[in-house]
Amino acid sequence: MKKTGNILMMSMAVAALHSCGNGGIFDPDSVQDAGNHISRVEPLSWWTGMKTPLQLMVYGEGIGEYDVRIEGADGVEVKSVHKADSPNYLFIDVVISDTAVPGTYWMVFSGNGESFKYPYEIAAREAGSVSRGSFSTADMIYLIMPDRFANGDPSNDSSPDMAEKADRSAFFGRHGGDIQGIIDHLDYIADLGATAVWCTPMLADNEPEDSYHGYACADYYHIDPRFGSNALYREFVDKAHEHGLKVIMDVVTNHCGAAHWWMEDLPFHDWIHQFPEYTGTNICFSTNMDPNASKYDLNLQESGWFVPSMPDMNLDNPFVLNYFRQWAVWWTEYAGLDGFRVDTYPYNEKGPMSEWCASVLEEYPSFNIVGECWTSSIPQLAYWQGGNANRDGFDSHLPSIMDFPLQEAICKGVPSDSHAWGEGMVRVYDCLSHDFVYHDLSKMMIFAGNHDMDRIGDVLRQNPDRQRIVLAMMATMRGIPQIFYGDEMMFVSKDRSQGHGGLRVDFPGGWAGDETDFFTEDGRAAANAGTDGKPVPQGQIAALHDYTRTLFQWRKGKKVIHDGKTMHFLSRDNTYAYFRYDDTDAVFVFINNSRGKKHVPWSHYVEIAEGLHDGRNVVTGEPVTVSDTTVVGPRQVLVVEYRR
């Protein structure tokens, strides 16, 4: 067996096992004895009352030659044992009956003329866990890249167990942001009007460079020590809940990192997709639904590697699929999660991923999972949403999808001054005119930007007025809005020419010694430059922040925005108007994205505008009566709420 010193030492894994439960009693001598044979047992622990079957993956020198049974109270037993291609793994199916008592159970391994014990904790499931809620259209999701948000604990910036060390000046390096930094600023996030937090992955990523983003996992059951610990992550979730914030975990099932501990000794030859030489994915998502697609192209799409540092997992192997099913449930139960965002969703084998989604939803029926299905094609995007009437009969069971076509329409339409047909705000109108294709509009995440694309501030060429237009659309359109950290103040990239590292800028004030602190009102009021020193008019940063806070604090209690219908009106002068409405309320949005003043053609909207009363400007709070004489200035947006 090859050594696995590139991640967490065996003693740390055993310690983590002990710390993850609710008070089992362990025999130190037996643990030490077992440590000579067993390096890892995953999942780290389990619970009574779970629907998801438990299959333990045990890793240790020659462990495949041992028999195993479980000692302890009645109700927990080994059902079957599976050997792997590697002699250093066992996969153990464990049955936990309804009569099982929470506590510490002992796995007894026998073989080669010896026997030893290893402790395993089965805790009591938290009351109400199965009925946990999740994120919905009532939420605003605040997306954070933890390494670039705030450094709450400088002592963990680097770790002796991890390859890459902190260097805040490194464009693609680790800057030191961590879980404690997020905890320290939960009040800022909640005050902004957010009701949910999505953090990019915080599990161990031990790549020698670019490890800050977390998408090349090296250990699926441990938080990266440069971010904190499992216990601190759970504390983060608890404190977020105290602030009225849900927590969405970013998960990656398609690939692991090249530095993952199992890459030195794979359980099965087909644990990952392997080729005679490096073979990348063709990124051709259409092969999943194209009736004319070849099996050759489909295989490259789902089996080719994302990049050389990210080995592609083989979810067609049932042991791999079981591993990820349990892993998702374990983190939800352990940390008290409120939802998942699944990275690179269409790169996975679609059949097994459908089973994965269904399994999570069987355990948590009200849970929401949103998949990153990055395509400009509206029909192809709709294919991935669970319940969609696909002609091939496929059902992903994936509740929510990210609305990339709308993001593209906004980022191409809002920066444009063109009145040409199909340009400017007509792009947004045209995109939403395809809403008939989608199965469930309430289960779509809308966004103007995220960690993988140009900052919206860059796209809009640092125009604060157009930034307000985008923020207003995020606050009033159908779906679940997501805001990327700093977009509330028009953050811009450090250097767009160098790629993603530049758009993932540090949040000013998140590090000791920062000259400016955008987390505070005083810091925002004093700021007169963008995050890379580019000039922004005095007071605009604070004004944009306050504008965002006003809209999203208002949105929290506005059911017509959460659940209402949409009616929009076409124009060819780079304006756009729409209503969100239900039986009792309506919200009117008029966007003037042109260079000149525009009259609101209120009489055009009579089919829905007639009878509306008690108009109030959402941003200013003042009463307002909109008519054909109402003028909206260039690159301005008017948001008015009414009673019907």
Active site residues: 343, 372
- Per-residue buried b or exposed e for 277-298, using 16+ beta carbons within 10 Å of the residue's own CB: eeeebeebbbbbbeeeeeeeeb
The percent of the chain in helix, strand and coil, each rounded to the nearest 5, is 30, 20, 45
- Tell me if 67 sits within 8 A of 92, measured CB to CB: no
Token pair belonging to 624: 């307002």
Q: What is the C-alpha separation between 542 and 539, in angstroms, rounded?
A: 6
Tell me the DSSP string of 534-553: -B--TTHHHHHHHHHHHHHH
Residue 630 CB neighbour total at 10 angstroms: 16
Which residues are CB-neighbours of 584 under 8 A, at least 6 positions away? Answer: 560, 643, 644
- Tell me if 616 sits within 8 A of 640, measured CB to CB: yes
Residue with tokens 């920062």: 514
Q: What is the C-alpha separation between 371 and 176, in angstroms, rounded?
A: 28
Q: What is the C-alpha separation between 47 and 70, in angstroms, rounded?
A: 16
Distance of CA 624 to the CA centre of its chain: 39
Residue with tokens 């770790």: 159
Q: What's the residue count for the chain?
A: 644
Angle ∠(386,387,393) on CA atoms, nearest 5: 100
Q: What is the C-alpha separation between 14 and 36, in angstroms, rounded?
A: 12
- Per-residue buried b or exposed e for 586-622, using 16+ beta carbons within 10 Å of the residue's own CB: bbbbbbbbbeeebebebeebeebbeebeebeebbeee
Q: What is the C-alpha separation between 470 and 473, in angstroms, rounded?
A: 5
Q: What is the C-alpha separation between 384 and 71, in angstroms, rounded?
A: 45
Which residues are CB-neighbours of 295 under 8 A, at least 6 positions away? Answer: none
In single-letter form, the type of residue at position 96 comes to I
Angle ∠(81,324,130) on CA atoms, nearest 5: 100
Backbone angles phi, psi at 86, to 5 degrees: -80, 135
Residue 565 CB neighbour total at 10 angstroms: 13
In order of 80, 333, 470, 596, 642, the CA distances from 636 in angstroms are 66, 46, 11, 10, 20
Residue with tokens 């007071």: 539
Q: Which three-class secondary structure state does DSSP give residue 12?
A: helix
In order of 78, 109, 340, the CA distances from 55 in angstroms are 10, 16, 22
Token pair belonging to 604: 């055009």
Token pair belonging to 88: 């250093």
In order of 58, 198, 307, 352, 402, the CA distances from 254 in angstroms are 22, 19, 12, 11, 17
**CA nearest neighbour of 34 among 55, 17, 46:** 17
Q: What is the C-alpha separation between 368 and 356, in angstroms, rounded?
A: 13
Helix (H) or strand (E) holding 27, with range, is none
